[in-house]
Amino acid sequence: MTKNQVNTKLKRDDTVKILTGKDKGKTGKILRIDRNRGRVYIQGLNMVKKAVRPKSQQEKGGIIEIEAAVALSNVAAVTKNGEATRIGYKIENGKKIRIAKKTGEEL
């Protein structure tokens, strides 16, 4: 990890809940994490419209909706019953596993 990268315990395909903003309370799956900017892209959430030019003559241009980035501090991991929690680690049988701090369940 380089000097400017943000450290996070979240990973791709984790289910997270948005804590603030226009999509507050909604949950979704992480598509990608931008550690350099400290932001995360969540499937189907924080949608913005973007104008796109056609790349070839067959392709159509127009206005599309894509996911915009959300600050890492504004999302929290979600347990199986849907409540937001922080992530901790536990060593079990010589393996390091991620656990939910609220419930102790494995993530």
Tokens representing residue 72 in the block? 């890492």
One CATH from 2.30.30.30, 2.30.31.70, 2.30.40.10, 3.30.530.20 for 15-100: 2.30.30.30
Domain ranges in the chain?
15-100
64, 52 Cβ separation under 8 angstroms: yes
In percent, how much of the chain has pLDDT > 90? 75
CA dihedral 88, 92, 96, 98 (to 10 degrees): -30
Secondary structure (3-state) at 96: strand
75-103 core/surface letters (b: 16 or more CB in 10 A; e: else): bbbbbeeeebbebeeeeeeeeeeebbeee
- Render pLDDT for 22-44 as a digit per residue (tens, 0 to 9): 999 999 999 999 999 999 999 99
pLDDT in tens, 84-103: 999 999 998 999 999 999 98
So what's the pLDDT on residue 2?
66
pLDDT confidence bin for 107, thresholds 50/70/90: confident
- Contact 107/98 with Cβ under 8 angstroms? yes
Kindly state the DSSP code that residue 101 receives in the 8-state scheme: T
